[in-house]
Structures are given as C-alpha cells and as structure tokens.
C-alpha cells in the first residue's frame, strides 16, 4: 500500500475531520488510473477506504460531496454503501441524479440507492441511466427492484425509440423479454 495512504488512514481514524484535508489530495498521492475493482479508479478505492476508516465519516460526507470535485463526489457516492449515513445520503444521490455526468449518475445508482431510494426515485434513476447510455449492469439492485411500473416505463421508452427509428439499448431488450415471457 502507498505510504501516504497509510498515514492518511491513521489520521482519519483518529479524527474524521482530517478527511477535509486529505480527501482532495488523494488523486495526486495514489493516482487516478483504473483499479482492480471494475469501474472504479485507484483514487475511488483509496477515498472509500478513508471513509471506512473514519469513525465520524457520516457527518463529513455531505460537505465532502458539496465542496468536492467530480472525483471526490463520485467517491462519496460510492462510500454511501459502506458508511452508516442513514437517509442523509438521499440528498447526495438526488443531487447526482440531477447531473449529466455519467460517472456521478453511475456511482449514485450503487447499492445505497438500491437500499434507500423509494420506488419512484429508484425508477427515475434507472431511466436516467437508460437515457444516458449507462449499462444497466452498473445499476445495483435492478434484479430485486424491478417492478411493473418500471417495466411499463421501459416499454414506453423502447416503443418511443423504435417509433423514432432509433436503437433500443441492447441491455434493455433482455430485461423486457424476460419479464414479458
């Protein structure tokens, strides 16, 4: 492991407010390339490790998100599923779903969203992913959260795309045919 990260983990374990100073520098210190976790960068992994190490991370996460750059926001969203933040993360997910940044939307639709979003908000997030071309494999909980209303919305989307002579995303077709069978 990176010596700087080891030191940063020790700092945040002793005082969660240290996240405010170490979180922004993670990319410069550990790199920004791909990690062993599919779809995650090295700095995503390091930042989530920092959040897990800080006993008071839940209190810091809203400001880390609010004042962070896109990479920091993405890491906070990824960290929602490993830090007990309760419903306080819903506002962060909602904000990310209002963006047009595919990386933020993808991170927002992780396991935290699958567990905490109400049905309407979850459906909205799934459709946002479909509209933005985010693979449905990136959406956590789709297998257990798909309901008749979401299927209806996806069917309508597919019908509109077909009527307009546009392609229907390939990963949407199997879901609709499985459910219709």
Alpha-carbon distance 140 to 138, whole Å?
A: 6
Alpha-carbon distance 53 to 46, whole Å?
A: 11
Q: What is the pTM of this model?
A: 0.92
- For the record, the structure tokens of 129 come out as 């992913």
Tens of each residue's pLDDT in the chain, 181 residues: 589 999 999 999 999 999 999 999 999 999 999 999 998 999 999 999 999 999 999 999 999 999 999 999 999 999 999 999 999 999 999 999 999 999 999 999 999 999 999 999 999 999 999 999 999 999 999 999 999 999 999 999 999 999 999 999 999 887 787 555 4
Please give the DSSP secondary-structure letter assigned to residue 134.
-
Supply the pLDDT for residue 105. 98
Supply the pLDDT for residue 173. 83
Alpha-carbon distance 44 to 109, whole Å?
A: 15
- For the record, the structure tokens of 3 come out as 């010596």
Q: Are 171 and 135 in contact, with CB atoms under 8 Å apart?
A: yes
Q: Which residue has the tokens 């459709």?
A: 127
Supply the pLDDT for residue 47. 98
Q: Are 139 and 129 in contact, with CB atoms under 8 Å apart?
A: yes
């Amino acid at each position: 492991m990176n010596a700087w990260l080891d030191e940063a983990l020790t700092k945040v374990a002793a005082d969660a407010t240290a996240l405010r100073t170490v979180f922004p520098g993670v990319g410069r210190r550990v790199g920004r390339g791909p990690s062993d976790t599919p779809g995650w960068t090295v700095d995503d992994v390091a930042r989530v490790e920092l959040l897990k190490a800080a006993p008071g991370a839940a209190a810091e996460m809203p400001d880390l998100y609010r004042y962070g750059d896109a990479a920091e926001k993405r890491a906070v969203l990824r960290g929602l599923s490993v830090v007990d933040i309760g419903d306080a993360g819903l506002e962060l997910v909602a904000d990310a779903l209002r963006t047009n940044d595919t990386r933020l939307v993808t991170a927002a639709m992780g396991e935290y969203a699958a567990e905490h979003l109400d049905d309407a908000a979850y459906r909205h997030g799934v459709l946002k992913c479909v509209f933005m071309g985010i693979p449905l494999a990136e959406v956590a909980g789709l297998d257990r959260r798909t309901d008749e209303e979401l299927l209806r919305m996806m069917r309508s989307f597919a019908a509109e795309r077909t009527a307009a002579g546009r392609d229907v995303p390939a990963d949407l077709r199997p879901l609709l045919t499985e459910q219709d069978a």
